[in-house]
């Protein structure tokens, strides 16, 4: 494999697919692997480089695939191993890499490993999960909390002990202090690498290890007044003992070494909110993750040029720094059009997404973002997300970002399925369906397709160094430089036209074909609202 091919992930656009909601081919109202295969031409046509498929391995679906009961099998809801092999083959034929979600911090409580572990304290898998005796009086061993509410400890009468679960009680945490667990997980990853996947998105990869001494977490130091996380007491602790332990790094190095045995494979890690910048520096260090993302932008209720620039500055973007993976939307957060208050001007979300694709790093585009979908309103009686049902009505959960992809407003359930979908297709989404937008030259879909396909062969925008420009107002600007070529990138994130005056010694040749209009004359650029400008200096 050529060096450039091995570094395909630098500047890659990764299209995230939530398989339950992408395309149903089996007729049961749930999307599947063959549905993804059916839409590969559409995905390739967007101008992306790779797909990341959220979990599709065998699971009781208490957390919709993030509770694995068999790491080596495709869940029958989604198809078979043969279907996945066909998907890899056909994606590769279209020049698309395939990344799969790996949920390695915990399993389902129906996984055979856990069923054996819970039976007693002396069996072969007794130490494969995190077990602890009760504190005096029978209470849990410490104050650790679950992300999904309540204590992160669940009593198991068969062993007379508590087990740790950072999420649902049906998702017991693996004990990575046990060497056999690490070996078993590496075998899982080797299986899929040998099948041909091009990398892994590592779910909550800072959660693998815990403090052996089970020390209590201290209270959070940050002022959470007004925080949208305040509905969940998990935010009131500083999670210095239950997650983000130093041992994580050594295991990630082992996993990276395994991936490096196979050419061009990439690790994309999900980092947690607390201390995310420092984790990014550590986790994307040499021989660790190639890419990582946190919640800096995904969790933001407001974004402007200054805040985006500050996030990038905190993460650092020098030649020797790690590479972030930018994301405006994904399956865990309300869609940006609604979250950022852009339902009346979706171009405001589009220009932020396009700006992120031009910054140093990779970028994930979540299914439906290319359509400018707002968050769907899902009535309480149709909410299935356990997180949403636990904290309703303070938090309505994640289902609004997980509803089915609208393909054609003229078809049943917008072309997603002939059967009743597992989540509803809203009228708002149907109006923004793919078939309807494809016929409109100025649609969000067509504008993003035009831009991503233009960007695709711009090595400087994908791999170049980045330097920010000092610009007035809500304009984000930077240069990307690779060798002798430098590209000036300007993004007007405001709702008004902005006049930018470049320095007299700046010699730009405006670039064309990206789909944005700006007037460049005498080193002055008239940049319309929610528009971009690209100028090249060779």
Indicate which CATH number applies to the domain containing 484: 2.60.40.1180
- Domain, as residue range, for 504: 464-537
Question: Does any domain span residue 68?
Answer: yes
Determine which helix (DSSP H) or strand (DSSP E) holds 6, and give its type and residue range.
Answer: helix 3-6
| Domain boundary pick from 455, 478, 497 | 455
Q: Examine the domain organization and report whether 324 and 374 are in the same domain.
A: yes
- Which residue has 């297709």 as its token pair? 425
Residues 6+ apart with CB under 8 A from 290: 9, 266, 267, 268, 284, 323
The predicted-structure confidence for 89-122, as pLDDT tens digits, reads as follows 999 999 999 999 999 999 999 999 999 999 999 9
Question: Does any domain span residue 119?
Answer: no
Q: What pLDDT shows up at residue 275?
A: 80
| Domain boundary pick from 455, 474, 503 | 455
Q: What pLDDT shows up at residue 393?
A: 93
Q: Examine the domain organization and report whether 400 and 489 are in the same domain.
A: no
Q: Examine the domain organization and report whether 256 and 401 are in the same domain.
A: yes
Per the residue annotation, which of 67, 173, 203, 270 is the catalytic one? 203
Q: Examine the domain organization and report whether 474 and 442 are in the same domain.
A: no
Per the residue annotation, which of 41, 261, 345, 420 is the catalytic one? 261
Q: Examine the domain organization and report whether 359 and 428 are in the same domain.
A: yes
Q: Examine the domain organization and report whether 502 and 522 are in the same domain.
A: yes
Question: Does any domain span residue 131?
Answer: no
Q: What pLDDT shows up at residue 519?
A: 86
Question: Does any domain span residue 373?
Answer: yes
Q: Examine the domain organization and report whether 469 and 531 are in the same domain.
A: yes
Distance (Å) of CA 245 to CA 152, 168, 206, 248, 282? 17, 21, 7, 6, 11
Helix, strand counts (H, E) of the chain = 16, 21
Q: Examine the domain organization and report whether 390 and 451 are in the same domain.
A: yes
| Three state DSSP letters for 152-220 | CEEEECCCCEEEECCCCCCCCEECCCCHHHHHHHHHHHHHHHHHCCCEEEECCCCCCCCCCCCCCCCEC
249 preceded by a cis bond (ω within 30 of 0): no
The predicted-structure confidence for 9-62, as pLDDT tens digits, reads as follows 999 999 999 999 999 999 999 999 999 999 999 999 999 999 999 999 999 999
Q: Examine the domain organization and report whether 449 and 468 are in the same domain.
A: no
Which CATH number fits the domain that encloses residue 206? 3.20.20.80
Active site residue 253: no
Q: What pLDDT shows up at residue 3?
A: 47
Question: Does any domain span residue 163?
Answer: no
Closest CA to 363 of 395, 337, 327: 327
| Domain boundary pick from 455, 475, 490 | 455
Q: Examine the domain organization and report whether 74 and 203 are in the same domain.
A: yes
Q: Examine the domain organization and report whether 401 and 496 are in the same domain.
A: no
Closest CA to 333 of 364, 287, 371: 364
Q: Is the pTM of this model over 0.85?
A: yes
Question: Does any domain span residue 197?
Answer: yes
| pLDDT digits (tens), the chain, 538 positions | 444 578 999 999 999 999 999 999 999 999 999 999 999 999 999 999 999 999 999 999 999 999 999 999 999 999 999 999 999 999 999 999 999 999 999 999 999 999 999 999 999 999 999 999 999 999 999 999 999 999 999 999 999 999 999 999 999 999 999 999 999 999 999 999 999 999 999 999 999 999 999 999 999 986 655 454 568 899 899 999 999 999 999 999 999 999 999 999 999 999 987 788 999 999 999 999 999 999 999 999 999 999 999 999 999 999 999 999 999 999 999 999 999 999 999 999 999 999 999 999 999 999 999 999 999 999 999 999 999 999 999 999 999 999 999 999 999 999 999 999 999 999 999 999 999 999 999 999 999 999 999 999 999 999 999 999 999 899 999 999 999 999 999 999 999 999 998 877 777 899 999 999 988 888 889 999 999 999 998 6
Determine which helix (DSSP H) or strand (DSSP E) holds 143, and give its type and residue range.
Answer: none
Number of domains in the chain: 2
Active site residue 321: no
Question: Does any domain span residue 115?
Answer: no
Q: Examine the domain organization and report whether 54 and 72 are in the same domain.
A: yes
Decide: 232 and 224 in contact? Cβ < 8 Å: no
Question: Does any domain span residue 403?
Answer: yes
Separation of alpha carbons 194 and 503, rounded Å:
53
């Amino acid at each position: 494999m050529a060096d450039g091919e091995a570094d395909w992930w630098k500047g890659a656009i990764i299209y995230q697919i939530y398989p339950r909601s992408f395309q149903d081919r089996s007729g049961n109202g749930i999307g599947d692997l063959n549905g993804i295969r059916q839409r590969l031409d559409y995905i390739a046509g967007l101008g992306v480089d790779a797909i990341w498929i959220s979990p599709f391995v065998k699971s009781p679906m208490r957390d919709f695939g993030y509770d694995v009961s068999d790491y080596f099998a495709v869940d029958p809801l989604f198809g078979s191993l043969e279907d996945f092999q066909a998907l890899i083959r056909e994606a590769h034929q279209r020049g698309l890499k395939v990344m799969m979600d790996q949920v390695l911090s915990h399993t389902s409580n129906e996984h055979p490993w856990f069923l054996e572990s819970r039976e007693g304290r002396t069996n072969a898998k007794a130490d494969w999960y995190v077990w602890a005796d009760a504190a005096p009086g029978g209470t849990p061993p410490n104050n650790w909390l679950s992300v999904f509410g309540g204590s992160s400890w669940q009593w198991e009468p068969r062993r007379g002990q508590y087990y740790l679960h950072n999420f649902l009680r049906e998702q017991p945490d693996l004990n990575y202090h046990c060497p056999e667990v690490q070996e078993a997980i590496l075998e899982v990853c080797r299986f899929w690498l040998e099948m041909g996947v091009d990398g892994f998105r590592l779910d909550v990869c800072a959660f693998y290890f815990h403090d052996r001494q089970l020390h209590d977490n201290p209270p959070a130091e940050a002022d959470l007044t007004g925080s949208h996380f305040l509905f969940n007491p998990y935010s009131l602790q500083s999670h210095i003992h239950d997650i983000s332990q130093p041992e994580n790094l050594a295991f990630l190095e082992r996993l990276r070494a395994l991936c490096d045995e196979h050419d061009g494979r990439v690790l994309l890690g999900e980092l947690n909110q607390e201390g995310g910048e420092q984790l990014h520096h550590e986790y994307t260090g040499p021989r660790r993750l190639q890419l990582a993302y946190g919640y800096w932008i995904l969790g933001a209720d407001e974004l402007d040029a200054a805040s985006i620039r500050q996030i990038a500055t905190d993460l650092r973007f020098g030649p020797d720094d790690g590479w972030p993976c930018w994301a405006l939307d994904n399956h865990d957060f309300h869609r940006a059009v609604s979250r950022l208050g852009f339902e009346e001007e979706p171009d405001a979300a589009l220009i932020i997404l396009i700006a992120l694709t031009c910054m140093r790093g990779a970028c994930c585009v979540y299914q439906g973002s290319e359509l400018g979908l707002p968050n769907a309103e899902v009535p309480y009686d149709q909410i299935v997300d356990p997180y949403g049902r636990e904290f309703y009505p303070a938090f309505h959960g994640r289902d609004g970002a997980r509803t089915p992809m609208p393909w054609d407003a003229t078809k049943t359930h917008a072309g997603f399925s002939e059967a009743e979908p597992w989540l509803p297709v809203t009228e708002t989404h149907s109006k923004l369906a793919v078939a309807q937008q494809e016929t409109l030259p100025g649609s969000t879909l067509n504008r993003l397709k035009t831009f991503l396909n233009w960007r695709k062969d711009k090595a400087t925008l994908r791999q170049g160094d980045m330097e920010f420009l000092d610009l007035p107002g809500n304009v984000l600007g930077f240069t990307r430089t690779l060798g002798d070529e430098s590209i000036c990138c300007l993004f007007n994130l405001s709702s008004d036209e902005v006049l930018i005056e470049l320095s007299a010694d700046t010699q730009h040749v405006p670039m064309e074909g990206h789909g944005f209009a700006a007037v460049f004359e005498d080193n002055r650029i008239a940049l319309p609202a929610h528009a971009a400008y690209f100028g090249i200096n060779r």
